[in-house]
Amino acid sequence: EIRLASCAGCHRMALTRFVQFAVDNFKKTTNLYFLTHFHADHFEGLSNDFNDGPIYCSPITRALVLHRFPKLSGFVHSTEEKVEQTINVAGEIISFTFYPANHCLGSVMILLEGSFGRYFHTGDFRYSPWMNEFLHNVDKIDNLFLDTTFLESTWVFPTREEAIAQIIDLIQTYAPSPSTQVYIEADMLGTEPIFIEIASRFNTLIHVKAKKYSEFHSIKGLKWLDILTLNPNMSRFHMCRDHNKQKGRRKNDEQKKEAKLKKRIEQGELWIRPSSQWFGKKASGVKLPQNFVSKPCFHQHIWHVLFSIHSSFCELEEFVKLIQPKEIT
């Protein structure tokens, strides 16, 4: 099994004698909180009862937080990307600027400045050369908090556009008939470009579950909401959860579910799972993920496409060379 390193999130540390900051960490009290994006592993400890202090995030993330935790409207503050904000925390003047993280809807990286120096926190991110446009502002960094989820040279990823092209090709090859049902196991924030492209290429709606429909509609200004439908009969394309992530299932239930899925696929359904984490699991049987950069992997009736919203090893190298921090955490 290929080792998956830790992410850049969930940090908590002292900036000065009187100021501590926490990024994606809400389990202990501090006086400065940031939330880089709204994935569950990054807002652990957050609830409607939270009252420990202000939380700073992007407008999209604020919308998602308040959709889940409506009682936090007085604590969650949003700021636009590339706009420096100055705050007074326990008498210390601190400034921060958000930059796009290219990870999921609303995800940001944080440039934090004060008497302690200049810190840059990537949160979860996918480096791409288009970021160089603003990264020239991120210089003289004393400490870089880096997303090292895929910090091994075995990890090489196609671009998102290349991965999506593989998904389109699978649909055209194995589900050319308008009656063939297609299930995409990708309901996590960050996979929306897949469905936007499918909707465009096949001139279709995308069926989503009520929870995702409501979540997306809590975000103002999204231009693609009209591609979503709650009616499964209105589309042959379905956004669904990874079938292996059903909680509380007993072994017998798992076997029955696998048998049912196998039967459905044998009857003509197409199942596709865009993921990067799967390729690192022992159960996948994949020893070298880079072998699947340009082609999908067929495993147990499902097509797996190497789709990543994190940086590859090579992308991390390029990013660090560009930033040239004094330290990396």
Instruction: Look at the pTM and tell me if it is higher than 0.85.
Output: yes
Q: Residue range 248-261: average pLDDT?
A: 65
Dump pLDDT digits (tens) for 20-40.
889 999 988 888 899 999 999
Residues 183, 242: contact at Cβ < 8 Å? Answer: no
Query: What's residue 284's pLDDT?
Result: 79
Q: Residue range 61-89: average pLDDT?
A: 97
Sign of CA dihedral 189, 193, 194, 197: positive
Q: Residue range 142-168: average pLDDT?
A: 94
Dump pLDDT digits (tens) for 194-243.
999 999 999 999 999 999 999 999 999 999 999 999 999 999 999 999 87
Instruction: Please state, in angstroms and rounded to a whole number, the distance separating the CA atoms of residues 313 and 276.
Output: 13
Residue with more model confidence, 111 or 262: 111
User: Nearest CA to 115 among 30, 23, 15, 18?
Assistant: 15
At CB < 8 A and 24+ separation, what contacts does 282-289 make?
Answer: 282/1, 288/154, 289/2, 289/154, 289/155, 289/156
Task: Kindly indicate the confidence band of residue 7, based on its pLDDT and cuts at 50, 70 and 90.
Answer: very low
At CB < 8 A and 24+ separation, what contacts does 174-178 make?
Answer: 174/270, 174/303, 175/236, 175/270, 178/236
For residue 17 the two structure tokens come to 């004698």
Q: Residue range 85-95: average pLDDT?
A: 93
